[in-house]
Amino acid sequence: MNTRREELIEKKPLSDSIASKLDQLLGNRTHFRVLEAGCGSASHVVLPSDIFMVGIDISGEQLAKNKTIQEKILGDLQTYSLPANHFDIVICWDVIEHLKDPVSALSNIFKSTKKGGVVVLAFPNVMSFKGLVTKFSPHWVHRSYYRMLNYASTPFETFLRFSIRPSNVARLATLQGLSVEMSILYDGIPPGFKRRRVLYGIVKAVIGALNAMTLFRYDLGQSDCVFIFKKI
């Protein structure tokens, strides 16, 4: 089984939770205008069928590969002025960790969401073991990690600013008029890494020791997070 398929299967309960929450929040509305912020070549969330899909990405090559979006914007989320109060759903999945100024990008996304609209935001938890290792290790380590897991792609440069700690992101959203409707922290270590049992066992032991040092007030194994916000 390939690595991508394994990850999709492992994350299916998370995907189902997101879909269920979106159904609950969006009710019986139709004709959704959706923004995939940092869309890359494919969407990460199952959406209603009656949608108009807009994608923005800094890479023209990735935009060209994306067959699910009807309108393509070549631009940088940190500086491109998105239209205000325009989108019913905004999805930003594993993007903000790669930005030098993620707060500007998030403010842009929140501004572009309609009243009653929702934002689905996924990103690594910088305050986890995986997040801190990623933040403070050089880029060649990230490339080696991708090769070890046999990923076909290469990793983007990662900054993982402390400004996107989950608590900081929730606070920013609240200050900009959004409510937190879902907040999930989870172990996002991929199956390919977990199959390397000796290495994974060492990592788990280190995480357990660090958790004990915090008197178990924190779980440094919760490496990734997903938020769903609603514009009030």
- Distance CA(18)–CA(48), nearest Å, equals 12
Each domain of the chain, given as residue ranges in start order, spans: 3-125+157-187+224-231
Contacts of 213 (CB under 8 A, 6+ apart): none
Model confidence over 145-199: pLDDT tens digits? 999 999 988 999 999 999 999 999 999 999 999 999 999 999 999 999 999 999 9
- Distance CA(105)–CA(38), nearest Å, equals 10
Model confidence over 38-68: pLDDT tens digits? 998 767 777 777 899 999 999 999 899 888 8
- Distance CA(88)–CA(113), nearest Å, equals 6
- Distance CA(71)–CA(184), nearest Å, equals 30
CATH classification of 3-125+157-187+224-231 is 3.40.1160.10, yes or no? no
- Distance CA(51)–CA(41), nearest Å, equals 18
Helix (H, G, I), strand (E, B) or coil at 193: helix
- Distance CA(161)–CA(213), nearest Å, equals 24
Model confidence over 98-141: pLDDT tens digits? 999 999 999 999 999 999 999 999 999 999 999 999 999 999 99
Q: What tokens appear for 148 in the block?
A: 């070890």
Q: Say what the pTM is.
A: 0.92
